[in-house]
Amino acid sequence: MSLSAPTNISYLPSALGISKVAQLSLSNYWCTASVPSVILGTGIAYTVVAWVYFNGFYNSGCYRTGGSWGENYVFALGQAGCAGPCPGGTFRGVVFPFSPSFGYLGVDQSCAATFSSSVPVYANQWVFLWWQYPGSGSTFYLGAIYGNNISYTGTVTLSAAENIPTTGVYFWINQICSGGCESNGWIAYLAFYNRALSTSEIYAIYQGQRVTQGLVMEYRGDNYDPSTGIFYDSSGNNINLSPGATPYPNRGCLLWVPTWAGGPSGNWMNWPTC
């Protein structure tokens, strides 16, 4: 690849006051069947933002396209039957890997999925990811922001407008339906909105400002309880996520290195169990 991974991290999840992270593993996930009605149906705009650290990508057994490996999931909204009504019956934020260290950000919509080659996602560092659907049409907007304000944006156009069923819907972090698409790494933050955030609002969250207008679900690493496996919602709507299996995922401490040394050696994080 001609692209190289950014290494100077000027903003991290700790900018949002986050000190702990939840483990993304290939054997577990979180979900809820209590999905708020304000994100079900048609004509609804969505924005999802997330701080994620991928330890490395792998070739899952899930959908692949354009020479990619199988998808690695971050979140999914849809019915438990996996495929859901086609097309447009789910909203899934994914990475399409091309190697253990590199992939492209994408969307899976049930029976249609692809990635934006304008939005690279690199493993082994924190990245602020976002996905957006404007409420109509079949075009989605995507982005990834790294350190020193290094930002990538792109679009993907799929086959139909979003039309999420109004019954039998689940929301997952790190999986969809029966599994096999999980990511490997850590998640510090995920927020789900029922409106299209502006570019400045998305960037403000990256910089550490909490945006609450239209906030439907919000998950912070500090609010994950490794003793019960429950990921508590901090949006005020009480949409807590239950673990999918045992043992429960680990929780780690996010350590922000106080001195930014030259090169990547001064920027890496460690995750002691906490």
Residue closest to 98 by CA, chosen among 68, 55, 63: 68
Average pLDDT, the chain: 88
Please report, for the chain, the start and end positions of each structural domain, with discontinuous segments joined by +: 13-266
Select the highest-mean-pLDDT range: 160-169, 233-242, 258-267. 233-242
Q: How far apart are CA 138 and CA 87, in angstroms?
A: 10
Whole-model pTM? 0.91
- What CATH number has the domain spanning 13-266? 2.60.120.200
Residue closest to 48 by CA, chosen among 215, 165, 163, 161: 215
Structure tokens at 201: 């609002």
3 confidence band (pLDDT: 50, 70, 90): very low
Omega into 87 within 30° of 0, i.e. cis? yes
- pLDDT number for residue 184: 95
207 confidence band (pLDDT: 50, 70, 90): very high
